[in-house]
Structure 1
């Protein structure tokens, strides 16, 4: 197989997910047509040049050619199916590119330190909540003797009463209710 035929077999999508960019002459060579056909298709708006002035190699697979009189009589109803397939392929490629761009954006945000792992946040929140709970559970033992002295009461019943109310309050705060978890 000679090198001219081999180059037409080469994939048009690079390993990094971007498409190969072609000059009009190379596009015509790979499409096995004349460069004038490419210029006419560009003038009709069927083919589109990128900002760099080159053509996207994925357009090779699109239905950009005008059918000849002989082809149009044989194509008829199948042309609509080919156009629909080409549109579906273009939409799928666009979704893939958008998904890849979204992933790259998330990776950049993570590298910039704008994102935090969910496990880290959960662990920090859990540790903070445990600290708050422990502070509340230890509060009656600290305050009961002081409160009993001010009121002239025995500290033991005051401690039991405060402990009971603090435990009841902590239990009421316990787990979030389903209404609190729902987003508006």
Structure 2
């Protein structure tokens, strides 16, 4: 027992009108009972098909190595390292992991658990500037007091304190920052 025309079209993955046209043009033959034998019809379909009318499979663009690397890194960070080649499941898993990470980060920001990087840098810079200015003004404020207590020349003492404070500030400024932002 064969398949109906619509049944064979579904089996072949084409429309029933394509099957009817193939029958009408003699490329396919029906069984005496009016059904289509799928084995014979598949053989005839391949043999009688016009190569110029065949649809080629859509060419897929190659996935950039950076994208594959990003998926690999994301899965590794999530504790699910990619084994073997790239698959749709790997890409979908990486997408879900990144979505969850972004949502988690957004929630942390809304809860004020995370500070804005630009604002933190600006405030840190402003604090360092105020600290530097306070230290640069310190020798002139205290040199007279120290000179009175020790009997030293106030002008020489202020010059010495200013020199040492500047040296210290330069040393601190030239030191690599231990804060990583």
Q: TM-score if structure 1 supplies the norm length?
A: 0.48
* Bigger CA radius of gyration: 2
* Larger relative contact order (CA 8 Å, sep ≥ 6): 1
Q: TM-score if structure 2 supplies the norm length?
A: 0.49
